[in-house]
A and B are shown apart, each in its own frame.
Chain A
Amino acid sequence: MRRGEMGRRDFMRTMGWLGVSGASAAAAAGLAACAPARPKASRDTLRFVCAVQQMTDPALTTWIEASNLFRNSLEFLTEVDADNITRPFLAQSWRPSEDLKTWDFILRPDVRWSNGDPFTAEDVAFNIRRWIAPGSKSVNRTAFAALRDLEVTGPHAFRLHLDRAVCSLPEQLYAFTCPILHRDFETRGGDWPKNPVGTGPYRMTDFEVGRQASFQRRADYWGPAPALARIDYVDLGTDISTHVAALAAGQVDVLYRVSVAELDLVNRLPQARLIRQQAAQTVVMRMQHDARPFDDLRVRRAVQLAADNAQMLKLAYRGFGAVGENHHVAPFQPDYAPLPAQKRDVAQARHLLTEAGHADGLDLALTIGNTQGRFEQDTAQVLQQNLAEAGIRLHLKVLPASEYWSVWDKTPFGLTYWSHRPLGVMALDLAYRSGSAWNESHFSDPGFDRALDNAMARLDPKDRARDMAGLEKTLQDQAVMVQPYWAEKFTAVSPRVRGYRAHPSDYFRMDKVWLADA
């Protein structure tokens, strides 16, 4: 670092993969003196606009919003912070074997549950075993498909045995469905809001779906005391302009999210401060390889060549983000490999269509659900104009957001929102491995799968990037998708709010947030 060969973020990231705690890493880098002073515990209450959803079993949660509530009380083995750097949390360190198939974890010995019980490896074993149990309904069962067994090796130590190398294991353990519950969770009713025991800094004191949830600071928290005495989550529905009005009227302090449509309004409000965050969230317009006419590579290539990704970013998302490269790996993910820029070529698109027997043009239908907002449909409308230049008549089939999830993996041509993944290899493993549960494009290539296995077996992202170049190129050459852009995230807070950072996955932590004097 001192020789300037490695930046602060890269150094911290490397320490993270090696399972070295943030504090130790910062001390080693001489950064401790730069860290902002943590404010003292206050009597302040912060009001946060967020959907208050059911969270009976946190491992079965399907929406990130719910996890932002229980994240105040439940903690994770690892943490991927707002800078996309993985750090130890309840696990104070870990060590993978050479082949990345065996992982040894050491837990913090000083953690206690809010009911006074000590936190041990038995708690972790209870959670991980129920995630991967044959009858498990948790999405973790798919995410940890490679996990074969867990072995408790000490009161505060455990070992994971995997069928294949998974370099992203620490990152996966911070997925929103992976909070660590007390080992008696099931025997005490299996309904977390009714028995909200956790290791986190806050205790849930009030919970009503669709209305409000409140969290009170714990006096006996094992870590540093958070500044806020209380956090109230208020459900104001889904209309973001209503949330902005509440912020303007001083009725709330933090908004969960602001869409690109409200940016100008928020920027003009003296009662609001806009926060922007780069994230590997994107929309993917993927074509199913086993459905007509997309079973013909020439058709898929024509669609990709006619699409103008930069224009979609500019018109549909007002330029807030980075242009996508049609391979679902973001330039700001640590294992990204740069490839030569793809050029738009409408003439070549027409030529390919003619070769494929569509000289008179082609009718296609794109299914859209606007699951994250109207910008999805705006993007599709720009694509519609782009494709028209090549003679493709694109019909937009707009479904209600809730209906889209019934067809997202069935429709031949669909626009799906993909949320941030800390590593590029994670998205590829989930969405493009042959037969994977979330492989919505039905893309299947044994060579790609083998290359993915190789990439997953490399711990250092810089080494992995070499494999990633081949994977990215395959996805581009096979024209699996039009992936127009990486969309920034936005949120707004009251000017009194301090220490709040947007997170690329929307995984907010409130223990470092405080309110300045009015």
Chain B
Amino acid sequence: MRDLAIFLGRRLGGLALTMLAVSFLVFLTLEFNVEGVAVKVLGQFSTPDQRHAWLAENGYLDPFLLRYLRWLAGFVTGHWGTSTYYHEDIARLIAPRLGASAILAGAALLVMVPLSLILGVAAGAREGSLLDRSISLIAIVTTSIPEFASAVFLSAVFVIGLGWLPGVSTMAGGFNLRELVLPVSVLVLASTGYIARMTRSSMAEVMNQPYVRTARLKGASPARIILRHALRNALITPVTVIMLQIPWILSGVIVVEVFFAYRGFGTLLYQASLNADVYLVESCAMVSVLVVVVTQMLADLIYVRLDPRLAAATGRKP
């Protein structure tokens, strides 16, 4: 238990250091040039006098390090400031957008994870078979198509061609499952193949292990061999990949969210960058890093659960 606490402490310490380093880089990039900040906040038509007055009013004439520490203290205590574009409290702005992205991510993972695991296991259990080759080929093709291309393709077919699905997913009239179909499909197409191939190679490797051969010789059924003996060990690699997909879907699917006008965290970050909303970009960047670091910490905990060797190292029983 003590080892687990040390393990978690180390991870949390790493999280804090990473956040600190990123916060400094973000602040340096966005706020080093104070004149640029004034133009972004007051607009391109503001006069030099107006900019100077604004900079003085908002403490921008103080030394850089002092401004950084003041901003960091504000961020840590939940005072993230006001968005210059939305004119709203940033923390209140980010929360629902993160929730909307979580819904999209959840729906995508709900389809993506079982589908990719089934395809990967089916392919890996019969390595070299026609099924394996077909799944591998489809996986390579879908993985190599970027999201913007599959989004255009699916829209052309299902929105403009057949007229079956809505073209945008604004959820303006409340939650609408039909509006989720296309963005989820694009995400599933982009990632399923990759996870399936990871699962397949991991499964194929496990299926050649002596303990699987022993189980087969003992007369265990193929289903029992896969479910009881092979699957758990074969899951370690796909779990890593799946855990990496979570931050990607939450904060990295800007292309999909923007294309379908889905009001998630990705669109918020995109709009913030587009409108030079300095404070919102800073907060979004910090939240993105937090999501990545926390997901990786969760992934580490799941490894411990799945891999007895790691469990022993942290003092936990497998």
> A237 within 8 Å of B by Cβ?
yes
Known: A62-B44, A245-B168. A236 touches B274 (CB 8 A): no
Contact B167 A246 (CB under 8 A): yes
B40 to chain A, nearest CB (A): 7
Contact B159 A406 (CB under 8 A): no
Residues of A contacting B170 with CB < 8 Å? Answer: 211, 234, 236
Known: A236-B168, A237-B258, A245-B155. A139 touches B45 (CB 8 A): yes
Instruction: Give B83's nearest chain A residue, CB to CB.
Output: A209
A242 to B196, CA, bound (A): 31
> B141 within 8 Å of A by Cβ?
no
Known: A210-B86, A236-B170, A251-B167. A137 touches B42 (CB 8 A): yes
Known: A62-B43, A239-B259. A54 touches B85 (CB 8 A): yes
Of the candidate stretches B119-127, B234-242, B263-271, the one touching chain A is: B263-271
> B160 within 8 Å of A by Cβ?
yes
A269 to B160, CA, bound (A): 8
> A48 within 8 Å of B by Cβ?
no
A-contact bits for B19-41, CB 8 A (1 contact / 0 none):
00000000000000001100110
A156 to chain B, nearest CB (A): 32
Q: Scan residues 49-79 of chain A and give those whose CB is less than 8 A from a CB of chain B.
A: 53-54, 56, 62
A245 to B47, CA, bound (A): 40
A400 to B273, CA, bound (A): 9
Known: A248-B159, A406-B36. A237 touches B261 (CB 8 A): yes
The size class of the interface chain B forms with chain A is 35 or more
> B16 within 8 Å of A by Cβ?
no
Could you say which of A142, A236, A247, A269 contacts B261, with CB atoms under 8 Å apart?
A236
> B90 within 8 Å of A by Cβ?
no
Instruction: Give A212's nearest chain B residue, CB to CB.
Output: B172
Instruction: Give B255's nearest chain A residue, CB to CB.
Output: A239
A244 to B259, CA, bound (A): 11
Contact B263 A402 (CB under 8 A): no
A234 to B267, CA, bound (A): 15
A116 to B43, CA, bound (A): 35
Contact B167 A137 (CB under 8 A): no
B-contact bits for A234-258, CB 8 A (1 contact / 0 none):
1111110110111111010000000
A-contact bits for B266-293, CB 8 A (1 contact / 0 none):
0100110111100000000000000000
Q: How many contacting A-B pairs (Cβ < 8 A)?
A: 93
> A219 within 8 Å of B by Cβ?
no
Contact A246 B168 (CB under 8 A): yes
A119 to B85, CA, bound (A): 32
B-contact bits for A212-245, CB 8 A (1 contact / 0 none):
1000000000000000000000111111011011
B95 to chain A, nearest CB (A): 15
Contact A246 B261 (CB under 8 A): yes
A437 to B110, CA, bound (A): 57
Contact B87 A242 (CB under 8 A): no
Most buried by B among A62, A212, A242, A246: A242
> A408 within 8 Å of B by Cβ?
yes
A237 to chain B, nearest CB (A): 5
A245 to B262, CA, bound (A): 13
B141 to chain A, nearest CB (A): 24
A239 to B45, CA, bound (A): 25
Residues of B contacting A53 with CB < 8 Å? Answer: 85
Instruction: Give B44's nearest chain A residue, CB to CB.
Output: A405
Contact A249 B165 (CB under 8 A): yes
A235 to B87, CA, bound (A): 16
> A401 within 8 Å of B by Cβ?
yes
Residues of B contacting A235 with CB < 8 Å? Answer: 261
A445 to B260, CA, bound (A): 51
B79 to chain A, nearest CB (A): 21
Residues of B contacting A211 with CB < 8 Å? Answer: 170, 172, 263
Could you say which of A54, A239, A245, A408 contacts B159, with CB atoms under 8 Å apart?
A245
> B14 within 8 Å of A by Cβ?
no
Residues of A contacting B45 with CB < 8 Å? Answer: 62, 139, 142
A64 to chain B, nearest CB (A): 13
A53 to B87, CA, bound (A): 10
> B163 within 8 Å of A by Cβ?
yes
B130 to chain A, nearest CB (A): 38
A402 to chain B, nearest CB (A): 4
A406 to B163, CA, bound (A): 43
A236 to B40, CA, bound (A): 22
Instruction: Give A409's nearest chain B residue, CB to CB.
Output: B44
Known: A402-B40, A405-B39. A248 touches B160 (CB 8 A): yes
A266 to chain B, nearest CB (A): 11
Contact B167 A245 (CB under 8 A): yes
> B88 within 8 Å of A by Cβ?
yes
Instruction: Give B54's nearest chain A residue, CB to CB.
Output: A137
Residues of A contacting B155 with CB < 8 Å? Answer: 245
Residues of A contacting B88 with CB < 8 Å? Answer: 209
Known: A234-B172, A251-B167. A210 touches B44 (CB 8 A): no
Instruction: Give B46's nearest chain A residue, CB to CB.
Output: A137
B-contact bits for A136-158, CB 8 A (1 contact / 0 none):
01010010000000000000000
Contact A237 B44 (CB under 8 A): no
B273 to chain A, nearest CB (A): 8
A235 to B168, CA, bound (A): 11
A345 to chain B, nearest CB (A): 36
A239 to B172, CA, bound (A): 18
Residues of B contacting A403 with CB < 8 Å? Answer: 276
Contact A402 B172 (CB under 8 A): no
Instruction: Give B38's nearest chain A residue, CB to CB.
Output: A406
B83 to chain A, nearest CB (A): 8
Contact B271 A210 (CB under 8 A): yes
B-contact bits for A197-218, CB 8 A (1 contact / 0 none):
0000000000001111000000
Contact A237 B36 (CB under 8 A): no
> B144 within 8 Å of A by Cβ?
no
A209 to B86, CA, bound (A): 6
A238 to B39, CA, bound (A): 21
Contact B44 A242 (CB under 8 A): no
A495 to B3, CA, bound (A): 69
> B50 within 8 Å of A by Cβ?
yes
Residues of A contacting B152 with CB < 8 Å? Answer: 241
Residues of A contacting B50 with CB < 8 Å? Answer: 137
Most buried by B among A237, A246, A248: A237
Residues of B contacting A406 with CB < 8 Å? Answer: 35-36, 39-40, 44
> B166 within 8 Å of A by Cβ?
yes
Question: What are the 4 A-B residue pairs with the smallest beta carbon separation, nearest first?
Answer: A245-B167, A405-B44, A249-B167, A402-B276
A contacts, CB < 8 Å to B: 53-54, 56, 62, 137, 139, 142, 209-212, 234-239, 241-242, 244-249, 251, 269, 400-403, 405-406, 408, 437
Question: Could you show 22 A-B contacts with beta carbons less than 8 Å apart?
Answer: A53-B85, A54-B87, A56-B87, A137-B42, A209-B88, A210-B85, A210-B86, A236-B168, A237-B258, A237-B261, A242-B260, A245-B155, A245-B160, A245-B168, A248-B159, A249-B159, A249-B166, A249-B168, A251-B166, A251-B168, A269-B160, A403-B276
* Sample of 19 more A-B contacts, CB < 8 Å, known A248-B159, A249-B167: A54-B85, A54-B86, A62-B43, A62-B45, A137-B50, A212-B172, A236-B168, A238-B258, A239-B258, A239-B261, A242-B168, A242-B261, A245-B160, A246-B166, A246-B168, A249-B165, A269-B160, A400-B274, A405-B39
B contacts, CB < 8 Å to A: 35-36, 39-40, 42-47, 50, 85-88, 152, 155, 159-160, 163, 165-168, 170, 172, 258-261, 263, 267, 270-271, 273-276
